[in-house]
């Protein structure tokens, strides 16, 4: 998992150097795309753990498309709607 290894710096700062690498709490979101086999629970749990290491605890509900073997993501109205909702979620902070 290449992305996970890039986030190792946050874990190391917190647990070995006793530093808070991202002092201000952040908002986050997870988008998962899959062909339809298997489950997304573990991937979502791992993504949330990685976000927590970056001081992100306000996480938007999971947005996913889990049938890309039969339908491209661009034709999945739930996924597209979810992405638009994520955009609104992140823009709320800027409006305040």
User: Could you tell me if residue 81 is inside a domain?
Assistant: yes
Asked if residue 15 has pLDDT above 60, the reply is yes
User: Could you tell me if residue 2 is inside a domain?
Assistant: no
Reported as a pLDDT band with limits 50, 70 and 90, residue 57 is: very high
Q: How many domains does the chain have?
A: 1
The answer to whether residues 36 and 66 touch, using CB atoms and an 8 Å cutoff, is: yes
Question: Domain residues for 28?
Answer: 24-95
User: Could you tell me if residue 13 is inside a domain?
Assistant: no
pLDDT digits over 64-90, tens only? 999 899 999 999 999 999 999 999 999
Asked if residue 95 has pLDDT above 70, the reply is no
Q: Pick left, alpha or beta for residue 38 (phi over 0 → left; psi -120 to 50 → alpha; otherwise beta).
A: left
Q: Residue 2: its pLDDT value, please?
A: 59
């Amino acid at each position: 998992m290449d992305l996970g290894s890039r986030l190792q710096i946050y874990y190391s700062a917190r647990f070995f150097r006793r530093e808070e690498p991202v002092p201000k709490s952040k908002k986050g979101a997870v988008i998962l795309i899959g062909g339809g086999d298997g489950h997304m629970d573990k991937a979502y749990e791992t993504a949330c753990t990685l976000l927590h290491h970056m001081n992100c605890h306000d996480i938007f509900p999971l947005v996913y498309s889990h049938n890309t073997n039969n339908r491209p993501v661009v034709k999945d109205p739930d996924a597209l709607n979810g992405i638009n909702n994520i955009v609104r979620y992140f823009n709320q902070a800027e409006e305040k």
